[in-house]
Amino acid sequence: MRAPIVDGIFYPAQKDMLETKVKELLDGAGLGSDIAAGASAIVVPHAGYNYTGELAAKGFKAVLDRDIHTAVLLAPVTRDAQDGLFLCDFKAFKTPMGEVFVDQEKVKALLDHKGRFSVNNYPFLEEHSIEVQLPFIQYLWPQAKIVPLHMGRQNPGTVKQLAKALQEVFGQDIDNTLFVVSANASPYLQRELAQEYAASYLSLCTAGDWEAMLAELQKRHPLPNGTGCTAAVLGMAGSMPRVTVLGTGDSKGEKIVCYASLAVSFQQYCR
């Protein structure tokens, strides 16, 4: 069991208060665009609900009409990242709303790809980026299972392997699968530099061109550490996906983190 580590800090620690908070956030979130409804994937920030809850809710609002059996949660390792794609051997993750179970069969299928995939619980114990998305999933799809995955250093080879594995493992079940990239649009930097990171990232996202993302990663241009996870989801789409910006924001001040909520609609399902 992976116990919560940011309850009472990033979101309410009491079940009833957390459920009420999630409902309020979803009720207050507009779709932003009819194009986004029924999206196959979302990219949402992972700060505290008081900072980015509204943006996260916009992403989940865009997919609430879907019948989700499995939520694939992808997030970067934000501290001391090593090379690799990290899965865990936890049977479930816990929040104040209860337990959400890990889809063990899908985890095994990803591990069968070997290469950069491995079991490593440490990123999951240290990172909050997957945890903060779980209450939305529990509220909207209480019977859904999850496949949590952390990406270490982002490089083209790792992104390509992840994109291929996602397509092969989830392609046949894509109607009932939601991909959630938990990523901010910039690191914590001086405002001007943070906005530069965010502008480059959002420009690449809205173009829907994962190969352009890979090229920029290869050049080591300034991009946030969630770019690799986003590129992998775009790359598994099988064709150029439509990416809709549902909202943006930042943490305010001279040094900031930029945030964005995106919906990704696959033009054709990868079979």
Helices 15-27 + 49-61 axis angle, to 10: 60
Over residues 218-260, the pLDDT tens digits come to 887 778 989 999 999 999 987 789 999 999 999 999 999 999 9
Residue 111's closest CA among 169, 59, 57, 193?
169
The two structure tokens encoding residue 186: 């910039």
pLDDT score recorded for residue 267:
66
Domain ranges of the chain: 15-265
Quickly list DSSP for 220-261: T-S--TTHHHHHHHHHTTSS--EEEEEEEEE--SSEE-EEEE
Over residues 11-58, the pLDDT tens digits come to 999 999 999 999 999 999 876 545 566 799 999 999 999 999 999 999
State pTM to two decimals.
0.95
Beta strand pairing call for 189-190 and 85-87: unpaired
CB 6 within 8 A of CB 225: no
Q: Scan for tokens 């491995």, then name that residue.
A: 118
Average pLDDT over residues 46-71: 95
**Residue 129 identity (one-letter amino acid):** S
Average pLDDT over residues 108-113: 96
**Exposure class string for 214-233: b at 16+ Cβ within 10 A, else e:** bebbeeeeebbbbbbbbbbb
Residue 71's closest CA among 38, 37, 40?
40
**Residue 158 identity (one-letter amino acid):** T
Q: Scan for tokens 């899908």, then name that residue.
A: 106
Residue 181 has pLDDT above 60, yes or no: yes
Q: Scan for tokens 């501290």, then name that residue.
A: 79
Measure the CA–CA gap between 251 and 191, rounded to whole angstroms: 10
Measure the CA–CA gap between 136 and 143, rounded to whole angstroms: 12
Q: Which CATH architecture has domain 15-265?
A: 3-Layer(aba) Sandwich (3.40)
Residues 6+ apart with CB under 8 A from 23: 139
pLDDT score recorded for residue 271:
41
pLDDT score recorded for residue 31:
64
Average pLDDT over residues 99-117: 95
